[in-house]
Amino acid sequence: MPIFLVVMGVAGCGKSSLGAAIARAEGLPLIEGDDFHDAASRLKMSQGIALTDVDRVGWLNRLGEELQRQDGGAVLTCSALKRAYRDRLCAAVPQLGFVFLELTPAVALQRVTARESHFFSASLVDSQFATLESPVGEDLVLRVDASASIDHLQAQVAAWLHPGHAT
């Protein structure tokens, strides 16, 4: 059965870095969720304006469609902050798993502030935490500590995806 996985969490948690490592290790395509935001949403975020649920509908639909195009599985990086967003993605691919990169607001702010040439404004970090509905306890969710090394996190994900196999 193909692996479909979302690497999720607030801005600055390391979705892109971990997603790339998992995709490489599993031989899967990487879908960078940020690449599917429309111009209006990118502009809002760059101006420090938080996206609304309405702003995210088209984006989530595009991500679901992109996942469906990947017959052999894929790794998607997507904040997936609310249960309704995760449910929308699962409607596109029912066997979708989620890796939740958990970190503190202070670390997220530090990481977002340090990023160069990214459209996301550091002023939005607090709104990310306010919007976050933790997926812990939902089906097919692995919670990991975003402050761990990418190699360690990738190994945790591999062990979760392939229980009983050495990584």
The pLDDT of residue 166: 59
Instruction: Give tens-digit pLDDT for 100-152.
Output: 999 988 887 777 766 555 555 556 677 788 888 999 999 999 999 999 999 99
The pLDDT of residue 121: 57
CA distance linking residue 158 with residue 167, whole number of Å: 7
Query: Over 80: is that where the pLDDT of 48 sits?
Result: no
Q: Which residues pair with 31 in a beta bridge?
A: 76
- Give me the CATH code for the 3-161 domain, please: 3.40.50.300
CA distance linking residue 10 with residue 73, whole number of Å: 24
Q: Which is higher by pLDDT, 12 or 8?
A: 8
Query: Over 80: is that where the pLDDT of 98 sits?
Result: yes
Residue 12's alpha-carbon distances to 16, 27, 28, 92, in angstroms, are 9, 25, 23, 26
| DSSP string for the chain | --EEEEEE-STTS-HHHHHHHHHHHHT--EEEGGGG--HHHHHHHHTTPPPPHHHHHHHHHHHHHHHHT-TTEEEEE----SHHHHHHHHHH-TT-EEEEEE--HHHHHHHHHH-SS-S--GGGHHHHHHH----TTSTTEEEEETTS-HHHHHHHHHHHHSTTS--
At 34, the pLDDT band (50, 70, 90 cuts) reads confident
Instruction: Give tens-digit pLDDT for 52-71.
Output: 889 889 999 999 999 999 99
Q: What pTM was computed for the model?
A: 0.88
Percent pLDDT > 90 in the chain is 62
